[in-house]
Amino acid sequence: MIRGCLRNLLAGIGCGAFLLAGGLFTWQYRSQLADGVRAFRGLPTAAAASAEFQEGPGSPSLEALRSAQAKHERMSRGDGPEFISLSAAEMASLIRDGLDPIGQLALDSIAVTLSPGRLTMVAVLKTDVWGQDALGLLGGLLRPYEPLRVSGTGGILRVGVLAWKPDEFSVRSIPFPGPMIPPIVNRLTGGRDGSMLFGIPATIREVRIESNRMTFYRRVQ
């Protein structure tokens, strides 16, 4: 009987030690384990998520474009998330992908900054590709490469369509008057109303431009 009690006591101590060791291991490596679960579910790791929305401008890349498209795909599902946020790099990638062929050739070194209510793009304009006539009297004064800045607001135009409507446009820090902006934007985008349009999931009902991110909501906030 004593031996049985001792065996039970030792077994209990061993089980407790095993559980304690397991708990300590889980706590010690909790970040790695959480990242493993997120990676298995196709979500960004904690490190990637924290770096994704870092301050400052974002530049386009194939990785960022695929990330934005994957987020839109998740949002389009009936069981998708209540909201998604796109980084400046992801928005820059969508802009680069949505430019007219002439716009894609004419703009280099694109970078996007997101601030409350506004999306701002800076780039290098290749004036020989763009065509100096597109900028009126200023065209004859331009160098082959000029700094370009475009800024404006964004919102849902209709179900499934996001519109970025620039209301500021400058070349070499020279601002263009409001009436000149829509035709110039149309030349970049191939559009007709001075806006750049993006396809978004029909499930999205509200869009907010915030610091370093653009957030898409399934319901009006």
The residue among 102 and 73 whose pLDDT is bigger is 73
Which amino acid, 25? F
| pLDDT the model gives residue 15 | 52
Q: Distance (Å, rounded) from C-alpha 159 to C-alpha 199? A: 9
Asked whether residue 211 carries a pLDDT value surpassing 90, the answer given is yes
Asked whether residue 192 carries a pLDDT value surpassing 90, the answer given is no
The residue among 24 and 184 whose pLDDT is bigger is 184
| pLDDT the model gives residue 127 | 84
Does residue 48 sit within a domain? no
The residue among 120 and 132 whose pLDDT is bigger is 120
Does residue 151 sit within a domain? yes
Query: The domain containing residue 68 runs over which residues?
Result: 55-217
Same domain, 180 and 128: yes
Same domain, 8 and 34: yes
- Rounded to 5 degrees, φ, ψ at 120 are -120, 130
Same domain, 69 and 34: no
Give the rounded percent of residues in the chain with a pLDDT score beyond 90.
52
Q: State pLDDT tens for residues 19-36.
A: 544 554 444 544 444 444
Does residue 46 sit within a domain? no
Q: Distance (Å, rounded) from C-alpha 30 to C-alpha 164? A: 41
Same domain, 132 and 198: yes
Own/partner pairs for 172-180, CB < 8 Å, 24+ apart?
A: 172/142, 172/146, 172/147, 173/147, 173/149, 174/138, 176/135, 180/136
Cβ atoms of 106 and 89 closer than 8 Å: no
Could you tell me the pLDDT band of residue 210, with boundaries at 50, 70 and 90?
very high
Asked whether residue 117 carries a pLDDT value surpassing 50, the answer given is yes
Give the rounded percent of residues in the chain with a pLDDT score beyond 70.
72
Q: What is the CATH number of the domain that holds 130?
A: 3.15.10
Q: What is the mean pLDDT of the chain?
A: 81
Locus of tokens 């979500």: 43
Q: State pLDDT tens for residues 141-180.
A: 778 899 999 999 999 999 999 999 999 999 888 898 899 8
Same domain, 95 and 33: no
Could you tell me the pLDDT band of residue 114, with boundaries at 50, 70 and 90?
very high
Report CA-CA distances (Å) from 86 to 173, 215, 216.
28, 6, 8
| pLDDT the model gives residue 209 | 97
Locus of tokens 């999205």: 204
| pLDDT the model gives residue 38 | 47
Same domain, 191 and 127: yes
The total of other beta-carbon atoms located within 10 Å of residue 61's CB is: 14
| pLDDT the model gives residue 8 | 53
Same domain, 17 and 82: no
Could you tell me the pLDDT band of residue 9, with boundaries at 50, 70 and 90?
very low
Same domain, 170 and 114: yes
Two tokens, residue 123 = 């780039």
Does residue 129 sit within a domain? yes
Same domain, 78 and 161: yes
Q: State pLDDT tens for residues 52-79.
A: 777 789 999 999 999 999 999 999 998 9
Mean pLDDT score, 89-104:
92
> Which of 96, 74, 116 has the alpha carbon at shortest distance from 218?
74
Two tokens, residue 219 = 């319901």
